Amino acid sequence: MERLSTATFIPDTFLGARDDFSMQMGVIWSKIKAPLIVPLLRITVVLCLIMSVMLFIERLYMAIVIVLIKLFGRKPDKRYNWEPMKDDVELGNSAYPMVLVQIPMYNEREVYQLSIGAACGLSWPSDRIIIQVLDDSTDSTVKDMVELECQRWANKGINIKYEIRDNRNGYKAGALKEGMKRNYVKHCDYVAIFDADFQPESDFLWRTIPFLVHNPELALVQTRWKFVNSNECLMTRMQEMSLDYHFTVEQEVGSSTYAFFGFNGTAGVWRIAAINEAGGWKDRTTVEDMDLAVRASLKGWKFVYLGSIKVKNELPSTFKAYRYQQHRWSCGPANLFRKMVMEIIRNKKVSLWKKIHVIYSFFFVRKIIAHINAFVFYCIVLPATVLVPEVVVPKWGGIYIPSIITLLNAVGTPRSLHLLVFWILFENVMSLHRTKATIIGLLEASRVNEWIVTEKLGDALKTLTVAAKLPRKPRIRIGERIHLLELAVGCYLFFCGTYDFAFGKNYFYLFLYIQAMAFYIIGFGYVGTFVPNS
pLDDT band at 133 (very low <50, low <70, confident <90, very high): very high
What's the longest Cα–Cα distance across the chain?
Answer: 112
Closest CA to 408 of 66, 51, 50, 49: 66
- The pLDDT tens digits of the residues spanning 365-391 come to 999 999 999 999 999 999 999 999 899
Task: Give the bridge partners for 318, in sequence order.
Answer: 528
At residue 330, the 3 state secondary structure works out as helix
Checking if the pLDDT of 311 tops 70, the result is yes
Question: What is the spatial distance between Cα 158 and Cα 151, in angstroms, rounded to a whole number?
Answer: 9
- Residue bearing the bigger pLDDT, 231 or 32: 231
Question: What is the spatial distance between Cα 192 and Cα 78, in angstroms, rounded to a whole number?
Answer: 23
Q: Which of 136, 195, 291, 500 is catalytic?
A: 136
What would the mean pLDDT of 22-39 be, rounded to a whole number?
A: 77
With vertex at residue 328, the alpha carbon angle to CA 325 and CA 333, rounded to the nearest 5 degrees, is 135
- Residue bearing the bigger pLDDT, 448 or 230: 230
Checking if the pLDDT of 456 tops 80, the result is no
Q: Per CATH, which fold does 76-84+93-339 belong to?
A: Spore Coat Polysaccharide Biosynthesis Protein SpsA; Chain A (3.90.550)
Question: What is the spatial distance between Cα 195 and Cα 115, in angstroms, rounded to a whole number?
Answer: 8
What would the mean pLDDT of 471-485 be, rounded to a whole number?
A: 62
Checking if the pLDDT of 278 tops 80, the result is yes
List Cβ<8 Å contacts ≥24 apart for 76-84.
Answer: 76/211, 76/255, 76/304, 76/305, 76/306, 79/256, 79/304, 80/211, 80/214, 80/215, 80/218, 80/304, 81/214, 81/215, 82/210, 82/211, 82/214, 83/210, 83/214, 84/206, 84/210
pLDDT band at 16 (very low <50, low <70, confident <90, very high): low
Question: What is the spatial distance between Cα 317 and Cα 234, in angstroms, rounded to a whole number?
Answer: 9
Supply the angle between the helices 288-298 and 319-346 in degrees, to the nearest 10: 20
% of residues, the chain, pLDDT over 70: 90
**To which H or E segment does residue 480 belong?**
helix 478-481
283 is catalytic: no
- The pLDDT tens digits of the residues spanning 161-185 come to 999 998 889 999 999 999 999 999 9
- The pLDDT tens digits of the residues spanning 196-223 come to 999 999 999 999 999 999 999 999 999 9
pLDDT band at 474 (very low <50, low <70, confident <90, very high): very low
pLDDT band at 480 (very low <50, low <70, confident <90, very high): low
| Conformation bin of residue 525: beta by default, left when phi > 0, alpha when psi is -120 to 50 | left
Q: Can you give the pLDDT at residue 471?
A: 45
Q: Can you give the pLDDT at residue 17?
A: 53
Q: Which of 135, 197, 289, 500 is catalytic?
A: 289
pLDDT band at 532 (very low <50, low <70, confident <90, very high): low
> What is the DSSP code (8-state) at residue 318?
B
> What is the DSSP code (8-state) at residue 278?
T
- The pLDDT tens digits of the residues spanning 71-108 come to 887 889 889 999 998 887 777 788 899 999 999 999 99
- The pLDDT tens digits of the residues spanning 407-445 come to 998 888 888 889 999 999 999 999 999 999 999 999 998
136 is catalytic: yes
% of residues, the chain, pLDDT over 90: 75
Domain assignments of the chain as residue spans, ordered by start: 41-67+367-467+477-524, 76-84+93-339
Other C-beta atoms within 10 Å of 139: how many? Answer: 13
Q: Can you give the pLDDT at residue 90?
A: 74
- The pLDDT tens digits of the residues spanning 32-79 come to 877 888 999 999 999 999 999 999 999 999 999 999 998 887 889 889
Checking if the pLDDT of 464 tops 50, the result is no
Residue 490 identity (one-letter amino acid): G
Checking if the pLDDT of 29 tops 70, the result is no
**Residue 440 CB contacts under 8 Å (≥ 6 apart), including other chains:** 331, 334, 335, 446, 447, 448
With vertex at residue 389, the alpha carbon angle to CA 383 and CA 390, rounded to the nearest 5 degrees, is 125
What would the mean pLDDT of 447-453 be, rounded to a whole number?
A: 77
Q: Can you give the pLDDT at residue 478?
A: 53
Residue 464 identity (one-letter amino acid): L
**Mean pLDDT, the chain, integer:** 89
- The pLDDT tens digits of the residues spanning 245-276 come to 999 999 999 999 988 999 999 999 999 999 99
Query: What sign does the CA torsion over 329, 330, 332, 337 have?
Result: positive
How buried is 526 (Cβ within 10 angstroms: 0-12 exposed, 13-18 middle, 19+ buried)? exposed
Secondary structure (H, E, C), 54-105: HHHHHHHHHHHHHHHHHHHCCCHHHHCCCCCCCCCCCCHHHHCCCEEEEEEE
**Residue 172 CA neighbour count, 13 Å, CB half:** 27
Compute, in degrees rounded to 10, the torsion defined by CA atoms 261, 263, 267, 272.
110
Q: Can you give the pLDDT at residue 159?
A: 97
- Residue bearing the bigger pLDDT, 29 or 179: 179
